[in-house]
Structure 1
Amino acid sequence: MHHPLPPAPGVGYKPQHYADIMADPGAVGWLEIHAENYMGDGGRPIAQLRHLAERFPISVHGVGLSIGGEGRLDPDHLARLKHLCDWLNPASFSEHLAWSTHDGAFLNDLLPLPYTAETVARVADHIDELQEMLGRQMLLENPSSYLAFTESTMTETEFLAEVVRRTGCGLLLDVNNVFVSATNLRLDARQYIADFPMDAVGELHLGGHDEDEDDHGAPLLIDSHGRAVADPVWALLDDVLARRGPAPLLIEWDTDVPDWSVLAAEATRAENALSRAAERAAA
């Protein structure tokens, strides 16, 4: 079994950065890949990943399983995921709390869920099946929300805590998603962090967002992963680290991907935030 991810900055791996990463492996402590990009057979992507896995702990992040969906998990998708995790033996595996399939159609955007006892049961059943199939614990990521359901009977943090209690899964806390959801739903981001089950957090995510406005001219943030992390999200990260202590911290940048130097600079900023948190913890 691999050691868990180190409490250091990681980056979402992009093939165009392969040579830079191999030339400067000290810039990051670990790498994250999207499972769906490596679930086929062979070829250059798999060969590169094997090389990277010799140098770095690898985290596998899935976006296509539709953990919150109403139907059963796709057995073919599960089997390919298991094959990937069996040969790669990643340090961590995570998935989104969302659903992306509906009546057999795959929706590219991850759709939110109402937080009810019924949804808890469904999500917990899917996580139980996944963890049993993979033979490993998974981390569940908090979503970015653009709307809230009137039928919800619990808060998002209560929902996540209950899923953890039932399944023994861990959590992936995406700090940008907290900021996006809090802005869009007019919630207090710091209160959300205070309520979050930090004991279960195995990984943190940071990414950029785009600013838009809704039909009424109110700010609407879109979780785009297409730019640098915003200052208020870095500030919220400090709040998270003060409660959680240093943790594996990922910089996500999936669209308009910049040169390696830009990503490495974000990783350095993450390293500084982790160092400050470690100093505070030691004081």
Structure 2
Amino acid sequence: MPARRRAAARAATTAAPARILARARAVAPCPSSTSHAPRAGELAGWGPGLARSCLRRHPLSTVASNRWNLPDLGIGVALRAQHYPHILARWPQVDWFEILSENYMATGGRPLWILDQIAERYRIVMHGVSLGIGGTDPLDWEFLRELKALAARTKAVWLGDHVCWTGVAGRNSHDLLPVPYDERTLRHLVERVRIVQDFLERPLVLENPSTYLAFSRSTLTEQEFIRRLADDSDCALLLDINNVYVSSRNHGFDPREYLDQMPWSRVVQVHMAGHTDHGTHCIDTHMGHVRQEVWDLYAEAMRRGGRKPTLLEWDQQIPDFETVHEEALKALAYLPSEGAKVAS
């Protein structure tokens, strides 16, 4: 998922990357708040506190095929400000929402109030763009504290970011920048992921990036790097199918071979999105409908890894909510039957 269309970040108070301010303000009238009694549910293998309470407001779905026995949430939609009025007025039948974490951190007021209402009724997954796990700046502990607090507030089922770096010397580039795929970088990321997971008391869910250049010093393929990162740090993975396709076009590799090397038991979520094809290269724009070649690759992924919670991202020229939700529900046609044999 590319970092894009964000307001300028506030000034950093440490040497770590700056944060992104919330960019959305809703216009819907306030509905009355509905409280829900906590429900049972515990995630095997997760730490205390946040990790064991993250599903209290919602019943567990079918367990997905992953090593943590995290639930198969079904088909989700990325929560965007343009859709706040529709959601608050109609409370549509959506399995779950994914939020852009930074939009609700270091802020308050209406966006956070709206998120509270939505989190009372839907399961929430958090996805960020500013962790900079591959960077060389010190980890930003203020950012991590805010991230952990937001996860507690929303009872997020899981939270994650990207295998990338985002800035240097405290300056946020507002983009997801690739890392070299070599042993030195791998050790660096493994150490930082372990530290972050210990602090958050839960696995970090890291997404494969879309990339447009490669480092000459790389000695591993992207899929080898990500597999070893997940194994050595014991993190979870978010597989962005559109990113795999876009990068395969840009670098000339076989996306099906990429899928063959995925550690499927560590994949807890899948992203789908549209992209822009310029002929000589593709860009992950999150604009328009998902192309058929990406749906075909999604079907290949589901045959290999089994049913995974799947989310649609649409971030440019965003249409009405029904159009986005209908696009997300197309994934149902490609899901394997429950109990189908899958890779590990």
Deviates more, 1:30-39 or 1:80-89: 80-89
Asked if residue 238 in structure 1 is aligned to residue 299 in structure 2, the reply is: yes
TM-score normalised by L of structure 1:
0.92
Asked if residue 2 in structure 1 is aligned to residue 54 in structure 2, the reply is: yes
Counterpart position of 1:105? 171
Aligned residues: 274
Q: 1:119-162: per-residue Cα shift (whole Å, max 9, x none)?
A: 11111122112111111111110010111212111111111111
Counterpart position of 1:251? 312
Query: For 1:67-82, what aligned pairs fall within 5 Å after superposition?
Result: 67-82=133-148
Q: State the shift of 1:108 in Å.
A: 1.6
Pairing partner for 2:228 from 158, 162, 173: 162
Preserved contact between residue 54 and residue 152 of structure 2 (Cα < 8 Å)? no
Counterpart position of 2:86? 20
Preserved contact between residue 12 and residue 33 of structure 1 (Cα < 8 Å)? yes
Query: For 1:1-283, what aligned pairs fall within 5 Å after superposition?
Result: 1-3=53-55, 4-22=70-88, 23-26=90-93, 28-213=94-279, 219-274=280-335, 277-278=336-337, 281=340
Deviates more, 1:83-92 or 1:54-63: 83-92
Whichever residue aligns with residue 281 of structure 1, its letter is: A
Q: State the shift of 1:199 in Å.
A: 1.3
Query: 1: distance between equivalents of 2:86 and 2:304?
Result: 34
Query: 2: distance between equivalents of 1:17 and 1:175?
Result: 24
Preserved contact between residue 157 and residue 197 of structure 1 (Cα < 8 Å)? no
Whichever residue aligns with residue 54 of structure 2, its letter is: H
Q: State the shift of 1:183 in Å.
A: 0.3
Q: 1:202-248: per-residue Cα shift (whole Å, max 9, x none)?
A: 000001111225xxxxx211111122111100000000000111110
Query: 1: distance between equivalents of 2:237 and 2:100?
Result: 17
Any unmatched runs of 5+ in structure 2? 1-52, 56-69
Deviates more, 1:263-272 or 1:168-177: 263-272
Whichever residue aligns with residue 14 of structure 1, its letter is: R
Preserved contact between residue 116 and residue 151 of structure 1 (Cα < 8 Å)? yes
Preserved contact between residue 137 and residue 170 of structure 2 (Cα < 8 Å)? no
CA pair 134-280 structure 1, distance change in 2 beyond 3 A: closer
Greater strand content: 1
Any unmatched runs of 5+ in structure 1? 214-218
Q: 1:169-208: per-residue Cα shift (whole Å, max 9, x none)?
A: 1000000000000000000011111111111100000011
Q: Percent identity?
A: 39
Preserved contact between residue 210 and residue 223 of structure 1 (Cα < 8 Å)? yes
TM-score normalised by L of structure 2:
0.76
Counterpart position of 2:66? none
Preserved contact between residue 6 and residue 29 of structure 1 (Cα < 8 Å)? no
Preserved contact between residue 307 and residue 338 of structure 2 (Cα < 8 Å)? no
Query: 2: distance between equivalents of 1:280 and 1:78?
Result: 37
Preserved contact between residue 73 and residue 96 of structure 2 (Cα < 8 Å)? no
Deviates more, 1:98-107 or 1:198-207: 98-107
Whichever residue aligns with residue 61 of structure 1, its letter is: H
Deviates more, 1:30-39 or 1:164-173: 164-173
